[in-house]
Chain A
Amino acid sequence: MKPTSHGQLTSSRLDATFAALADPTRRAILARLASGEASVAELAEPFAMSQPAISKHLKVLERAGLISSGVDAQRRPRRLEAAPLAEANAWMEKYRQFWEANFERLDAVLEELKTLEATEPTTRRKKK
């Protein structure tokens, strides 16, 4: 196993994904594409932006592998590519699991503290 090279490979892909997701317009475009493919003109519609400006965002998303272009020569509809998003989400999910496990242990600690206070009200710790 070569964890380092594997980590770097994954890392550069994820860098592109997270960079693409950092922009609110690009996130909105992805949200729109989640409900089906759309042409550049259709994607530009809800934004106060020119088609060239939207095209720039689409290029970033395409480079990150988050979207692809359809074969229809006229419309070249863009569609969502799910895999990189799922990958980014998987990392977020690992982070979440780490903290969920921490907080479940913290719940247990708090229950114990509450019980201690309830059973020994006279020895309650004084605030300094």
Chain B
Amino acid sequence: MTTNNVGKLSLRTEGDRDLVMTRVFNAPRRLVFDAWTRPELLKRWLGVQNGWSMTVCEVDLKVGGGYRFVWSRPGTGNMGMRGVYREIVPGERLVSTEVFDDAWYPGEAVGTLTFVEQDGKTTVTSTMRYASKEALEAVLKTPMERGVATSYDKLEELLVSQAAA
């Protein structure tokens, strides 16, 4: 991965139950790792869009320790997830489990984040391994804002415009 890929998101499936994302950040890996593991930083970027804010963000950063995230949007409700850290190499690698309170896909997912630094830039690779092929398919079909009426409206528009094309 060269540095001119900063900002470009690569998203692909590998095998039939891994979803792999790669993104280069213009910062040393120590800071990127911090932004992924410190609640006061996580709350500023993870899932906080379209009126959603993170109302619970607890991180017990040790192997066997847990994390707990809850997002809320007035008028819509809450969406929570939790998991357990399995492997922690500060600035390099973070492995954790992930399960949503109201999971729309079967089983627990295992996420592996790796942070590789070159010339002050950090390549983050996120590999989510889902419990089954069906779970990965369900995830691809339904991003985090699932079940929200407005996203169905948007989807409908999208499908109608594609059918017309």
Contacts and interface: CB of A to CB of B under 8 A. Distances in A.
B143 A95 contact: yes
Interface in A27-70: none
B90 A114 contact: no
B44 A98 contact: no
Interface in A80-128: 83, 86-88, 90-92, 94-96, 98-103, 105-111, 113-114, 117, 127
Interface residues of B, number: 40
A98 B152 contact: no
B148 to A, nearest CB: 9
B25 A106 contact: yes
Nearest to A125: B34
Interface of A: 1, 3, 6-7, 10-11, 14-15, 18-19, 22, 83, 86-88, 90-92, 94-96, 98-103, 105-111, 113-114, 117, 127
B83 to A, nearest CB: 17
Contact of A98 (B143, B155, B158): B143
Contact of B41 (A90, A101, A109): A109
Contacts of A6: 152, 156
B144 interface: yes
Interface in B10-42: 11, 16, 21, 23, 25-27, 31-32, 34-35, 41
B152 A110 contact: no
A3 B133 CA distance: 25
Interface stretch (B45-53, B72-80, B95-103, B108-116): B45-53
